[in-house]
Amino acid sequence: MSEQAIKYLRENRGKYKPMELAEALRGAGYEKEDIEASMKEVFPEETATVSAPIPHANQSFGNFRDKKIYTDAVQKWADFLFGVFAPGILLLSFGVILDFFNSRLDLEDMWPLFVFAEIFLFFYFWNRRHLISWGILAQIIVYPVMISIFFDLFFHF
């Protein structure tokens, strides 16, 4: 039984379901026995469900299918920044590939496809990893600001 785990469970008892808290502890690296003992201490009425397998235990960054339960601020910022910058990097790399192969397609001709893809990804991630969706939405503000800063620094408009 870990005192830190018990403290975490008591602090977050009313905010999250017991199974979500147990999953967060597992994601933080606690052993199964420590989690069970800590859960029995904080949630004595729900000891039968503690040993049940935790759904969606794969919480790696690349798992975009399952709902993400954030355990710390680093994970939240990583998802948000991924939502802000990944679509732009993909668009840029797609443009470089088209240019490299001397394609007759231009990015200007493909913008409706990219807008549709962004809208689809926003709704896809909304229930799974909502901070990626917020990052996609933040592009509306971040990209014009970055472009204006770039032009101010290099062209002095």
- For the cut 50, the answer to whether the pLDDT of residue 42 exceeds it is yes
Q: How high is the mean pLDDT of the chain?
A: 80
pLDDT in tens, 51-77: 444 444 456 777 777 788 887 888 889
> What DSSP state is assigned to residue 46?
G
pLDDT of residue 2: 75
> What is the number of alpha carbons within 13 Å of residue 107 lying toward its C-beta?
12
The model's pTM? 0.54
pLDDT of residue 53: 47
pLDDT in tens, 73-127: 888 899 999 998 888 788 778 777 777 777 676 667 777 888 888 889 899 989 8
In 12-57, which residue ranges form alpha helices assigned H by DSSP? 18-27, 32-42, 47-50
- For the cut 70, the answer to whether the pLDDT of residue 1 exceeds it is no
In sequence order, which residues have a C-beta less than 8 Å from that of residue 154 and are 6 or more positions away? Answer: none
pLDDT of residue 157: 58
Identity of the amino acid at 145: V
pLDDT of residue 109: 72
> What DSSP state is assigned to residue 14?
T
pLDDT in tens, 11-41: 887 788 888 888 888 888 888 888 888 888 8
